[in-house]
């Protein structure tokens, strides 16, 4: 996140301060980062994705067999074990009765098929586009507060989405609804500010 902060004008100082604190902690209290180090050095299960590629393939196979409807809302994880066993050479179930696909788009597809994936993607792209338009308008109209908000939200969104793509159960998690809301808000604020500015000029 601090690396991403370094790419925007509004958050550069946060990147400098945050990186400085992390370096100090790393130098004087390295034990705090033991778990993080083990996360990167520990051997993965089966592949570089920790077994997620098997889940992704199983999810795509389920979608291929039921492309228009999927398994139904909430049913995808319960059908996943069947497709995992089709693809796996050994038992990967470990007694579990359900598996998320560990990818939000695939999870939506296993529940709702291709139409659900298209609708889900359209919502995200539209909201992100609204944020981009508001960001551009704020820069053009010199609305510093909204411009700074857009930069901050963009940095946080990138950091969240980098992990979101391989997370299980994140397709309908509150985090994604919060992000979409944060993407839409500046557009509404920008429109309100512009209308108020026009009204003030007309009054004068």
Nearest C-alpha neighbor of 46 from the set 94, 79, 80, 96:
94
Range 49-88 burial, b when 16+ CB lie within 10 A, else e: eeebebbbbbbbbbbeebeeebbeeeebbebbbebbeeeb
pLDDT tens sequence across 147-185: 888 888 888 888 788 777 666 555 556 778 888 888 888
Q: What is the pLDDT, as a whole number, of residue 198?
A: 47
Render each residue's pLDDT in the chain as its tens digit; 204 residues. Answer: 556 666 666 666 666 666 666 666 666 666 655 555 555 444 544 455 556 788 889 899 999 999 999 888 888 888 888 888 888 766 655 667 788 888 888 899 999 999 999 999 999 999 999 988 888 888 887 788 888 888 888 888 887 887 776 665 555 567 788 888 888 888 777 665 555 544 555 454
pLDDT tens sequence across 11-32: 666 666 666 666 666 666 666 5
Q: How many residues comprise the chain?
A: 204
Q: In angstroms, what CA-CA distances link 180 with 5, 75, 103, 176? A: 20, 25, 18, 6
Chain Cα centroid distance, residue 102: 12
Q: Is 10 exposed, middle or buried (0-12, 13-18, 19+ CB in 10 A)?
A: middle
User: How does DSSP assign 112-172, residue by residue?
Assistant: HHHHHHHHHHHHHHHHHHHHHHHHHHHHHTT-HHHHHHHHHHHHHHHHHHHHHTT-TT-TT
The number of beta carbons lying within 10 Å of the beta carbon of residue 176 is: 19
């Amino acid at each position: 996140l601090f690396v991403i902060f370094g790419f925007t004008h509004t958050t550069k100082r946060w990147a400098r301060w945050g990186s400085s604190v992390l370096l100090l902690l790393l130098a004087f209290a390295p034990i705090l980062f033991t778990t993080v180090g083990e996360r990167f050095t520990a051997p993965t299960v089966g592949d570089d994705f920790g077994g997620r590629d098997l889940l992704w393939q199983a999810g795509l196979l389920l979608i291929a067999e039921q492309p228009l409807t999927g398994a139904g809302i909430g049913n995808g994880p319960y059908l996943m074990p069947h497709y995992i066993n089709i693809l796996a050479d050994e038992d990967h179930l470990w007694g579990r009765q359900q598996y998320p696909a560990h990818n939000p788009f695939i999870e939506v597809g296993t529940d709702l098929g291709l139409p659900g994936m298209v609708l889900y993607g359209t919502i995200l792209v539209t909201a992100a586009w609204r944020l981009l338009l508001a960001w551009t308008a704020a820069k053009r109209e010199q609305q510093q507060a909204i411009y700074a908000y857009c930069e901050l939200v963009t940095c946080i969104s990138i950091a969240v989405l980098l992990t979101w793509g391989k997370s299980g159960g994140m397709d309908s998690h509150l985090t994604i609804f919060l992000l979409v809301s944060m993407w839409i808000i500046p557009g509404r604020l920008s429109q309100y500010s512009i209308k108020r500015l026009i009204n003030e000029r007309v009054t004068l």
